[in-house]
Each structure stands twice: as C-alpha cells, then as structure tokens.
C-alpha cells in the first residue's frame, strides 16, 4: 500500500438480530482515492459502509464489536461523539433524498447545523458546492424553489453538494447511481473521479464495470467476509482467490 | 356504487337544506346579522342571540387543540422515534382504547376529576372565583378525547417518513433531535395538518362530555375560567323541551345549521391550507 490509510478497520463484527452480518473484517482504506466495495446482494456491502459513519446505531438489535479508526480515532470507542464523526463523511444513498426544503436550504442545512449563520458565508458555500457538482448553471435562478422539483439526477448531485457542504474528508456512496439514467450516472461518476483529489471515496456498487471505470481499489465481500482487496486492475484481471475469479467472471452473483 | 356515493354526498346537501328550511321562520323575525351578533338569549321573550354559543364552541375547541396538539406531537415523536418496539406495541393500543371510551364517561370523569382540580387549584391562581365548570375544563376534557385520534394518525404519518431521509440528515452531523425538528416534522407537516383537521372537526361536534363540564351559561366567555355554552350542548339540552315557545325549535335548528356551516367552512379552509402545504414540498 503506497498511500497512507485513512480508515482502518480492525476485527470488525456486526450482528443484527442474531445474524452474523460482518465477520472479522480487517481492511485499510487508502486516502485520496476511490475504493469500491463489490459483492453479491446481501453480502454485507452496505452494512460495511454504514459502519463507517455509525448509521447502524439506530437499527434494532444491532451489535458491533471491533474497531474502526478514522484519522487514528476509534469511532466505536465509548467516548466517541457521533455527530463529529458523521460530519467527516458525506453519504450518498441509493436514491436521492432531498430534504423537504428549497435547493439553497438543502445545501445550507449542514453548515447551519454546525453553526454558520452569516448569510454571505452561506451564500458562498452554496454557490461553491453547487458549482463543484455542476448544478449551479442549472439551478442558480431557482435556488429558493423546492428541491423535490428537480430531476432525479439533479437531486442526486444536490445530495452530493449537500454532503460536501459540511467539508467532510470521506464520501460514502451506497450504489449512488442505481436509480439514475446513464447520463446522470456518468455525471456522478465523473464527479467522483474529480473529487478524489480532495476526498477519500468509498463506494458500494454491484456493477463491476462501474467499479472498474472509477475505482483505484476494490474490496470483494462475500457472505460477510472480505475475500480479497487490491488495486482495481490487479483484482479484476488477476484475482488471487478462486471466489473472486468466479465472481468477476460472473459465475456467482 | 356511483349511486351510493352520490347518495351519500347528497345527504350532506339534504341535511343542509333541511336545517335551513326548519330554521327559516326565524329569519322572518330577525336578520342574519342580528342573530350572529346579539348576545341576549331569552327564548320566552323571543330573543335569540347566538353570539355566546358561537364563542362557546370556538373557545372550547381552541383550548382543546392548544392543549392536545403539543402533547400529541411529543407523544407521537417519542413513540415512533425513541420508544423501543416493545413499548410502542403496548402504548399505541392503549391510546386507541381511549378512543373507544363513550363520551359520557369522559363527562363523568370531567365532573369528578377535572372540575374540582380547576376549581380548587388552577382557577384560583388567575381569578377570584370559579365554579370549575368552565370552557377551560371543557377544553381539557375534549383534549383528552381527541388525544388518541391525533396520536395514532400523527404516529402513522411519522412512520411513513423514509429512514433514508433521516439518515441523510444524520450523516451531515445533525443530532437526532435536530433531524426531527428540521426534517421529520417538516416532511410530516401536511399529515399533521390533516390529523389536526380531523381532531378539530370531532371537537366541534362533541356534545355530551362538553355539556357536562362547561357550565352551560349563555354568556360569551371572556376568560378561559368562565362558563360557556357550545352549540351542540345547546341543541342537546333543549331539544324536545319547551317546544311551546314560538320559534324555539327554529332557533335550535338554526344552531344546528350554524354548527354545520362552521364545520363545513373549517374543512374547506383546511383543505386549501393542506393543498398549499402539499404542493410546496411535494413528496419525491
């Protein structure tokens, strides 16, 4: 591993309602790069992603053991403050979920929560993030209309802008393009590639071609365990494990 | 089925027309405006002022909703967002049982429990003397009666809010409470308005429990610790009695018509409000 790892996972186990969902996960996710988590449906990809910002906390009957270190800080330590951890990560879910407010307020939501009140500061943040996500030209004349009126692709980019507005270090994407048309998907993928210069990006995807197009590293998860982790080309073209080989060739899905 | 639905709708009109027809003799004696604004109620002298009754109805309903709504919101939020599933599955059915208790029992409860408390402890803080039979008492009893319907509908509305939407807010570093205040309640606003409309409609028409605790004095209340006389109580108390007094039955029919019109207007206005709210943040 040439790059400094930003997220280190040590012997992570997740049980939900008596099921052992994630088993003995150990992984270092490199800084300033795109890492894709691939694997068949129900293998625990999304659960793994959600352990990174403790979104599992609210799930019923969940038990997490082991540690996840972000910036050398164990986010599952007893003193860890959850809002501070979540602020470090922007989440982009499967379908866009704009907050029930205007476009402007969606982007300004995070900064406002974290204490930015001055209108000019908020204006700057909103403009910057909408420009970074390529939405500015499309929405600058209707910033104060409801975000629900945007197209679904625009909504997803708005959600990304909203996440970036709290200045995270990490972007988590949970099959973020699965509800989008090809053109919108392409725009989001381009954004990820561009954003990896500033952020560490972890994506869950079930589309191998997408993982290949945009990621630097791939993690292959099967039945709650990490089977293989490595640089994209190496893992896809020259997998070490038999299971990975079968998955990449499409024998198991 | 079309005929059935037309029939049910036409019932509303038939009732309205029927009430108007029976109340019509009253209009020959007095103008509509004087009926609304006059506050003299002396049927034997032929004086029918409805102002006290309209105010009585409005006060009681307003107090009920002001008392019930915040409590119901907090209860519903607790049940859907914080309570463990076990707690929720015990409390919600219990709340629904409240809805099944006959109004007359609420009335008795009001007389033996709320009236003395208002008389001994609450009213003396604010006024010199109160019998305990006040619009405030009526409002409190009504608030308890509309509590279950509000809690169960609002809980249902809150439960339909997608987890992903809450996750989106949480993952930006918002606390759970911030998420509830700024996202959940905002998204649920139209549902909460709709639930309130239902509850208020029920409160307007509630008769027996209110009649038992309100004092039934035909004077417009000037404070919450005055007695009041809501329209449904007026009709229920007097219908079938003193029918020998001229125009008395017309006056009661007019009271019914007034109640009908108030509820109708209220529903109309709230529908417009609901429509506004919904079109502003239509669900995605």
**pLDDT band at residue B217 under the 50/70/90 scheme:** confident
User: From residue B185, how far is each of A59, A215, B73, B195 by CA, in Å?
Assistant: 21, 38, 9, 13
Q: Which residues pair with A25 in a beta bridge?
A: A12
- Any domain includes A52: yes
- Any domain includes A10: yes
Residues A96, B284: C-beta atoms closer than 8 Å: yes
User: From residue A236, how far is each of A7, A133, A209, A242 by CA, in Å?
Assistant: 23, 30, 10, 12
- What confidence score (pLDDT) does residue B202 get? 86
Together in a domain, A126 and A176: no
pLDDT in tens, A81-106: 888 888 888 899 889 999 999 999 99
For A174, nearest residue in chain B (alpha carbons): B164
pTM metric for this prediction: 0.84
Q: How far apart are the CA of A147 and the nearest CA of chain B, in angstroms?
A: 8
Give the mean pLDDT of chain B. Answer: 88
Together in a domain, A71 and A103: no
Together in a domain, A223 and A160: no
- Any domain includes A59: yes
- Any domain includes A70: yes
Structural domains in chain B plus CATH codes: 50-230 (1.10.3720.10)
Pairing of strands A200-204, A170-174: parallel
Going by the DSSP 8-state scheme, the letter that residue A10 receives in this structure is E
A55 contacts in chain B (CB < 8 Å):
167, 170-171
Q: Which residues pair with B47 in a beta bridge?
A: B42
For B171, nearest residue in chain A (alpha carbons): A86
Together in a domain, A139 and A112: yes
* Alpha helices in chain B, H assignment, sequence order: 2-29, 32-37, 51-77, 85-100, 103-109, 115-117, 135-159, 163-170, 176-179, 185-187, 189-205, 208-213, 231-238, 248-280
Q: Which residues pair with A16 in a beta bridge?
A: A19, A62
Together in a domain, A149 and A210: no
Together in a domain, A159 and A115: yes
Q: In the Cβ-directed half-sphere of B150, how many Cα atoms lie within 13 Å?
A: 28
Find the CB nearest A100 among B164, B167, B186.
B186
Together in a domain, A61 and A173: yes
Residues B174, A60: C-beta atoms closer than 8 Å: no
* Residues spanned by the domain of A243: 1-88+169-185+199-253
pLDDT in tens, B6-56: 988 898 889 889 988 888 888 887 888 888 888 888 887 878 888 899 999
Would an 8 Å CB–CB cutoff place B171 in contact with chain A? yes
Stretch (H or E) spanning A37? strand A34-38
Contact (CB, 8 A) for A68 and A9: yes
Residues B173, A110: C-beta atoms closer than 8 Å: yes
Contact (CB, 8 A) for A87 and A166: yes
Residue A180 is part of a domain; what is its CATH number? 3.40.50.300
For A87, nearest residue in chain B (alpha carbons): B173
Q: How far apart are the CA of B86 and the nearest CA of chain A, in angstroms?
A: 11
Q: How many domains does chain A have?
A: 2
Residues B172, A97: C-beta atoms closer than 8 Å: no
Neighbours of A137 (CB within 10 A): 9
pLDDT in tens, B46-97: 788 888 999 999 999 999 999 999 999 999 999 999 988 889 899 988 988 8
Together in a domain, A18 and A69: yes
Together in a domain, A208 and A137: no
Neighbours of B188 (CB within 10 A): 23
- Integer Cα distance of A147 and A145 in angstroms: 6
B171 contacts in chain A (CB < 8 Å):
53, 55, 86, 89-91, 163, 172
Q: How far apart are the CA of B144 and the nearest CA of chain A, in angstroms?
A: 32
Q: How far apart are the CA of A163 and the nearest CA of chain B, in angstroms?
A: 6
Residues B164, A101: C-beta atoms closer than 8 Å: no
Give the A:B interface size as CB pairs under 8 Å: 77
- What confidence score (pLDDT) does residue B281 get? 59
Together in a domain, A175 and A66: yes
Q: How far apart are the CA of B213 and the nearest CA of chain A, in angstroms?
A: 43
Average pLDDT over every residue of B172-181: 92
User: Which stretches of chain A drop beneath a pLDDT of 70?
Assistant: 1-4, 253
Find the CB nearest A113 among B165, B168, B174.
B174
For A91, nearest residue in chain B (alpha carbons): B171
**pLDDT band at residue B226 under the 50/70/90 scheme:** confident
- What confidence score (pLDDT) does residue B180 get? 95
Average pLDDT over every residue of B90-116: 90
For chain B, state the CA radius of gyration: 22
Give the SS3 label for residue A16.
strand
- Any domain includes A191: no
- What confidence score (pLDDT) does residue B30 get? 80
Helix/strand number for chain B, H first, E second: 14, 2
pLDDT in tens, A237-248: 888 888 898 888
Q: Which of A50, A62, A97 to mutate to test the interface with B (most CBs of B within 10 A)?
A: A97
Together in a domain, A10 and A72: yes
Q: How far apart are the CA of A139 and the nearest CA of chain B, in angstroms?
A: 17
- Any domain includes A114: yes
- Any domain includes A192: no
Together in a domain, A173 and A82: yes
- Any domain includes A194: no
Going by the DSSP 8-state scheme, the letter that residue B123 receives in this structure is G
């Amino acid at each position: 591993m040439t790059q400094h790892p930003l997220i280190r996972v040590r012997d992570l186990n997740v049980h939900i309602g008596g099921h052992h969902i994630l088993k003995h996960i150990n992984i270092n996710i490199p800084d300033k790069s795109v890492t894709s988590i691939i694997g068949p449906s129900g293998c625990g990809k999304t659960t793994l992603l959600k352990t990174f910002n403790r979104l599992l906390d609210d799930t019923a009957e969940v038990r997490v053991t082991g540690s996840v270190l972000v910036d050398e800080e164990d986010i599952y330590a007893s003193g860890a403050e959850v809002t501070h951890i979540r602020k470090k990560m922007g989440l982009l879910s499967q379908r866009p979920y704009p907050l029930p407010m205007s476009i402007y307020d969606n982007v300004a939501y995070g900064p406002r929560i974290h204490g930015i009140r001055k209108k000019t500061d908020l204006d700057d943040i909103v403009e910057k993030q909408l420009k970074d996500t390529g939405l500015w030209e499309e929405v600058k004349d209707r910033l104060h209309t409801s975000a629900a009126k945007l197209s679904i692709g625009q909504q997803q980019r708005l959600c990304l802008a909203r996440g970036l507005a709290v200045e995270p270090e990490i972007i988590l994407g949970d099959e973020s393009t699965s509800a989008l048309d090809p053109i919108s998907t392409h725009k989001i993928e381009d954004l990820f590639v561009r954003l990896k210069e500033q952020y560490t990006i972890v994506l869950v995807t079930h589309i191998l071609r997408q993982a290949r197009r945009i990621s630097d590293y791939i993690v292959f998860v099967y039945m709650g365990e990490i089977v293989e982790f490595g640089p994209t080309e190496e893992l896809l073209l020259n997998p070490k494990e038999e299971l990975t080989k079968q998955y990449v060739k499409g024998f198991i899905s | 089925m079309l005929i059935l639905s037309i029939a049910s709708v036409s019932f509303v009109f038939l009732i309205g027309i029927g009430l108007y027809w029976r109340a019509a003799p009253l209009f020959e004696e007095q103008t509509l405006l004087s009926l609304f604004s006059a506050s003299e109620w002396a049927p034997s002298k032929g004086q029918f002022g409805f102002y006290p009754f309209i105010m009585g109805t409005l006060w009681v309903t307003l107090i009920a909703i002001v008392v019930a709504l915040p409590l119901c919101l907090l209860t519903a939020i607790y049940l859907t967002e914080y309570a463990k599933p076990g707690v929720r599955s015990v409390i919600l059915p219990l709340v629904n049982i409240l809805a099944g208790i006959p109004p007359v029992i609420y009335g008795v409860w009001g007389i033996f429990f709320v009236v003395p408390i208002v008389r001994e402890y609450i009213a003396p803080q604010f006024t010199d003397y109160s019998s305990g039979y006040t619009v405030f008492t009526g409002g409190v009893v009504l608030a308890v009666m509309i509590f279950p319907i509000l809690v169960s509908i609002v809980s249902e509305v809150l439960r339909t809010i997608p987890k992903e939407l809450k996750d989106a807010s949480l993952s930006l570093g918002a606390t759970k409470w911030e998420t509830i205040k700024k996202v959940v309640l905002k998204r649920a606003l139209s549902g909460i308005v709709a639930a309130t409309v239902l509850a208020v409609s029920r409160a307007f028409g509630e008769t027996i429990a209110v009649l038992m605790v309100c004092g039934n004095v035909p004077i417009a209340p000037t404070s919450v610790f005055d007695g009041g006389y809501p329209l449904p109580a007026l009709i229920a108390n007097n219908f079938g009695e003193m029918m020998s007094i001229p125009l008395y039955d017309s006056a009661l029919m007019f009271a019914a018509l007034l109640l009908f019109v108030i509820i109708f207007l209220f529903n109309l206005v709230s529908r417009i409000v609901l429509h506004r709210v919904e079109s502003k943040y239509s669900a995605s």
